[in-house]
Structure 1
Amino acid sequence: MNIQQLANALPDAILLLNNNGEIIWANQQAQTLLPVKKLTKAQTPAALIGKEAFAKSWSNKAEDFFEGKLSNHKYITYCLKKYEQNHYLFIIQDISRTHHLERMRQDFVANVSHELRTPLTVIRGFVEILLTKLKNKQTQEILLQIEQQSKRMQNIIEELLFLASLENIEHRETNYESIEVPHLLELIKQDAEKLSQGRHQFMLEIDTSLILLGVRNELYSLFSNLIFNAVNYTPAPGKIIIRWFLKENQAVFEIVDNGIGIEKKHIDRITERFYRVDKARSSASGGTGLGLAIVKHVLIHHQAKLVIKSKLQQGSTFTCTFPEKLIQFAKNKNHFVNN
């Protein structure tokens, strides 16, 4: 059995490219998946999956998987792999069914959250009325518990709806505006100090000239989730450093704490929805288990990356790196503020 027979037996579309990115050979699955009647030599994948999509892989020869959509409405992932000297394998996977199931899940979560929102609002309204009418101490304690838990449930619903909007690629907001991140971080720091109630020392290391193109409410959610997490998971007396700076032509947001830290085995999973490292502590802190999932999707929307470094009982560092194309600079600003 030769290499072409092996490639034809694979479930993925395989294109063999020369050093110019031109197709030399394609397996049978490529003929079936791609939106052309017949693949011909000297074509490039750009003509099949789009110039921008192919450029993501070809420009830097990165062996990363990217997602895309073909003109025949099939959803794909694709990547470029080095194959012998001056040759490359362009591998395309059909994920249309997976994408369809994911959309069904997203729609289900969004619809259920919408349906729960109204009755929960009614329950909270009645509890507020009863708290003003019923003065019995034991009754008041029960009503306060109901109010506290219904408020927590409402927070979960709001975050589920926000997360669903972030995950919905086709309806995601794409009109970026200039965001004065230094001012935004100062506002969030003030809220974090109220949450801390004097238990933490906060330090700002901010490049005040550095502005970012983005979606304001998403960036606010990103920064506030990470900063409030640092407060919730750093025992007193704690130290929290908030940084915003330029590094190698990229904008970097960094939050550093000396809190309880995270075990290495959890780091790869903590951006999953409802994943909790310590369930008892997370519930006690009032968290929804959705904050870091929101952080992940906001970063995806802004073509940014997250790196987490942490050691148990020593603290954590969350670093978000934004691409050069989203960077702007303000005029007449002090270059750096440290307080």
Structure 2
Amino acid sequence: MSFDYIKAAQQVIDLEAKAVKNLHQYLGQDFIDVCQQLEQCQGKVIVTGMGKSGHIGRKIAATLASTGTPAFFVHPGEASHGDLGMISHGDLVLALSNSGESNEILALYPVLQRQQVPIIAMTSNPGSAMARGANIHLNIDVQREACPLGLAPTASTTAALAMGDAIAVTLLQARGFTANDFALSHPGGALGKKLLLSVPDIMLTGDEMPLVGLEQTIREALLEMSEKGLGMTGVIDTEGRLVGVFTDGDLRRVLDKRVDIHQTPIRQVMTANPKVLEPDWLAFDALKLMKEKSINGLFVTDQQIPVGAFNMHSLLQAGVY
């Protein structure tokens, strides 16, 4: 009989889901105390852990740092050999260990206590040495590991990760942390571009904008479109106000009707009163609008005067998608 891979995987997922769900019972005064300590911390939050707990600790530190709580990970073994100098008065230590008996972490306790650095221990054993020596202990006990041998940290690491996320997101909400705050710590990624990049950052301006006058011919408009490469041109009146646009789609319709492109003025075939944006729009919001309205290009105006233009390719090229 072949091995049932799906059933084995389902059992793991069910066990880990149960382990996370059972964390509700530990969300009491200790959890509140942890959040308040972290919120009031005037320095940095130093997260530490050995082995698998260390891997989870790195992720928790990264999540805290990106959601408004200055934090970084310190390996407890390295801390005993010089990295402890990164920790100073005003900081706070969040120590992770499933057993709560990590010798490498316990070796740091006397120094941390001498420096009056508060210690939060996150373990599965309230009676452990780490729990007893900490200022606050947060229980993350699980009934059983997903590993059938009961050896590989599985459900316990998932529970620790979920508790770390619960702390970080609770603090985020308590602080009133906004999407713009989040973007400031993610300026180089897709999230930063989504929340920080504005339309003026990607639009063409000045002579780069495709523009023709009302009385210019369709042929002249096509030359302007070809030269500027946005697949459209704006149409302006004698006072420089945008009164229409002519796009690749309009061109196809004109050709279908066999309109004389050499003699016909663009005002007769343009789309009047086109959709435009104000300069304060975010690029991501512009993208959403273009998708909703099936628009490939847009002009940016200030009191009806065109100040910029861009198309879908401009957004994709800037990494907004």
TM-score by length of 1: 0.23
- Which of 1 and 2 has greater Rg? 2
- Report which of the two has the higher share of strand: 1
TM-score by length of 2: 0.24
